Amino acid sequence: MRIVYINTAAIESHPTFHRVFRRAMGFPDFYGANMDAWLDCMSSIDDPAAGLSEITVAPGELLVLEIPDSLDFAYRCPDIWQDLLECCAFVNQRRIDRGQPSVLTLLLR
């Protein structure tokens, strides 16, 4: 298991969401800064050879996204909060559909 802290205080919009995640996860320079690109990067978090994130986990391990002040974040940015929840679930479902284990979980604080 690996825990990555996500600085939700710096998230005010979709562009800042992508900047925060790009920094926290080490997404590549060609990261598209949209949710499709986020899904692709996060779906390959246990495949370092894909080169989609500097942060990786071993196959079968979980990546824990630590979300501080989650209630405040959900209140301030409800659309982005919903996107984060849905996209984390989508990443795991995509992997399950491919016969792979879930790879993401959220630690809400």
Give the model confidence (pLDDT) of 15-50 as tens digits: 999 999 999 999 999 999 999 999 999 999 999 999
Residue 107, SS3 per DSSP:
strand
**DSSP-derived pairing of the beta strands 104-108 and 63-67:** parallel
Residue type, 75: Y
Say what the pLDDT of residue 35 is: 98
**pTM flag (> 0.75):** yes
Say what the pLDDT of residue 26 is: 98
Say what the pLDDT of residue 16 is: 98
Q: How many CA atoms lie within 13 A of 6 on its CB side?
A: 27
